[in-house]
Structure 1
Amino acid sequence: MEDVQDGASPAVVRPRLLVLAAGELRLVLAPDAGGSIAAFTRQWREGSRLRELHWLRPASASGLAAANPLEMASFPLVPFCNRIRDGRASFGGREIRMPRNHPGDTAGHPLHGIGWLLPWELASAAPAEAVLALRVPADAAWPWSFSARQHFTLHERALQVTMTVRNEDTAVMPLGIGHHPYFPHHPGTRLRSPAAAMWQADAEVMPTRLDTGGPVPALREGVELSRLDLDNNFTGWERSARIDWPADAHGPRRCLVMEAEPPLDHFVLYCPRGQDHFCAEPVGQCTDWLNLLPRHGRDALGGAELAPGETLSVRFVLRPDWDGAGGA
């Protein structure tokens, strides 16, 4: 990966990785690992020394060898985000029967959708741009056929990700869409992410009730992550989150702003106490939205419906800053 030069064609290395470059930023994609991002970095020189700073938790060597999305930097969420209770739901007269799909989750609620478990095809690539594509036939787990694309565009100061899903079926399909980035959690890391309310959750991380207190005011103002221990959905998200890291051995004082567009109106924060990473996820629906819709409504839960042949596109941007341009 170190051999990629600015302006050069994107490099493919083994296991199959695609490296994009723009200025000091580098993006590494792992199509075979669920269409994941393997790394998002800044590379720069201090005198004769080449330095590297990770904006996302980098993929592990074992994760790359096994093409395991759970050990990547970020992976796509499609055609739903988060969990579906027991993998059972109904929509438009069709029954969803999704099997358990997460080796570390003993509760039996499948999560993260389907796309993260399948290899994606490289549809196109340029020095700072790439498109990954996926087509999924209908089956008992998800009884609608659909296709999806991820369009990655790397700029000198930003990474833009556009996700598009098309209903390839003959009936209306429910849809949730998003991404699952892992960020480094170093001592002193702070997060600001304004939202209207948080879904309290039970021991199996399933939503129980909405709460406007707790971490919601703290996240609106900005909070040091070491104070939190969460795995929760937030609704009424203002589609912006800012992460601040202090100057440390990893690099200078720096920040990253994540901005999203509708319908990414929901947010998941996974921040386990004592871990070296956390997840701040822009998503289009809350956990178990199909089963909770009759009780709570779409405003609190999100989610979309696609007619046959219809497409939905969503976009989010990661804007890192390392020289103070992002403000205090």
Structure 2
Amino acid sequence: MNVPLLHLQDRLTHLTLAPTLGASLVNWRVKANDEPLLRPSDTATLASAGPRMLACYPLAPWSNRIAEGGFARPDGWQALHPNTEQDPYPIHGTAWQQPWQVAHHSERRARLVLESEIPFAYQATLDVQLQEGCLSLDLHITHRDAKPSWHGLGLHPYFPRYPGTRLQAVAGQVWLGEPGQLPTRQADIPQDWCFDTLAALPATLVDHAFDGWTGDCVIEQPGYRLACQAQGAGLFLLYCPLDKPFFCFEPVSHPVNAHHLPGRPGLRLLQEGDEVSLGWQMRYLPE
């Protein structure tokens, strides 16, 4: 499959994007040595046409999973259906499974736009910028439906995982649930999952949302660091699968299944024309 790509570059790094694959980032690399700063994708991976195999994609109009076949809107029930073969729940919204249009493209900037009608009408805009080794992603949603609905946002970057990878991200609590169930309660963070200072990634499976996040994050890799900062994201979701050469650190606005949690934490009820945004910067710092 021939996937059209956009190319951005600054003095230090080079970025490729695939707008038609859910506005996915494909590769972000250091110019001097071709070091991957996000999970790298080769030609065969790109041809698979799956955003979940690439480097990063936007999450809208919600992040992660929603239970019970949908959620309640002020005007009634919003039915949803599973959108992958692997998961029994609808996951990560609908923006990542639709082609986006290129509204602007220059050497260091791109603006991608999606006019979506599913599961309700909204417009999504992703502004991408490179500046001296800093990759900025700004996700902006405008509700276009005549009936109000709940919105949540996120970004889903995949990072290389090495034996020396370390993470720092200060949070308050972690969302937990019963075995096999979606999270329902907050709890103290176990020591193995505490990243108040730089620490190695856990050797066991982690797939949890961490609340009370400051928005700052440092990812230390052999030979460089990424100093990261989020706006509009009070949580991060950390996914560390077993025996895989990657991990995910996802800035998100709300916990998993927030549509069915008391008070719908982190979600925004938008009327037609209302807007919500999430920003994420990753700055490359060579050692």
Normalized against structure 2, the TM-score is what? 0.94
Superposed CA RMSD:
1.6
Number of the residue aligned with 2:135: 159
Instruction: Kindly indicate whether the alpha-carbon contact (under 8 Å) linking 1:193 and 1:220 is maintained by their aligned counterparts in 2.
Output: yes
State the Cα deviation string for residues 15-71 of structure 1 (Å, max 9, x = none).
Answer: 201010100211110111111000111111xxxxxx201110022433311321011
The structure in which a higher percent of residues are helix is: 1
1:240–1:260 contact (8 Å) kept in structure 2: yes
Match of 1:55 among 37, 46, 50: 37
What is the CA-CA distance between 1:73 and the residue it aligns to? 0.1
Letter in 2 for 1:29: L
Task: Decide which of 17, 21, 26 is 1:29's aligned counterpart.
Answer: 17
Q: Which one of 169, 183, 205 corresponds to residue 229 of structure 1? A: 205
In 1, Cα distance between equivalents of 2:47 and 2:24 = 14
Shift of 1:222: 2.6
User: Cα deviation per residue 1:102-158 (whole Å; 9 max; x = unaligned)?
Assistant: 2222xx1111100010111111100110000001115xxx2x210100000111120
Higher Cα Rg: structure 1 or 2? 1
Identity of aligned residues (%): 30
Number of aligned residues = 286
Q: Deviations over 1:249-308 (max 9, x none)?
A: xxxx211122011x2111100011321100000011111101113xxx35xx31112221
5+ residue gaps, structure 1, are 1-13, 45-50, 247-252, 324-328
Aligned to 2:234: 265
CA deviations 1:159-217 (Å, max 9, x no partner) are 11111100111122211111000000011111111111001134446103211131487
Describe how 1:195-234 pairs up with structure 2 within 5 A: 195-204=171-180, 206-215=182-191, 218-234=194-210
Structure 2: how far apart are the matches of 1:112 and 1:127?
Answer: 30
The match for 1:18 is 6
- Aligned position for 2:285: 321
Match of 1:326 in 2: none
Task: Return the alpha-carbon distance in structure 1 between the equivalents of residues 70 and 111 of structure 2.
Answer: 32
Pair 1:43–1:82, CA change in 2 (3 A): same
- Letter of the 1:74 partner, please give it: C
What residue identity is the alignment partner of 1:260? Answer: A
Question: Within 5 A, what are the aligned runs for 1:241-280?
Answer: 241-246=217-222, 253-261=223-231, 263-280=232-249
The one-letter amino acid of 1:287's match is V
TM-score, normalised with respect to structure 1: 0.83
The answer (yes or no) to whether the contact 2:192–2:202 under 8 Å persists in 1 is: no
Counterpart CA distance in 1 for 2:165 and 2:275 is 37
Kept after mapping to 2: 8 A contact 1:26/1:43: yes
SS of structure 1 residue aligned to 2:194: helix
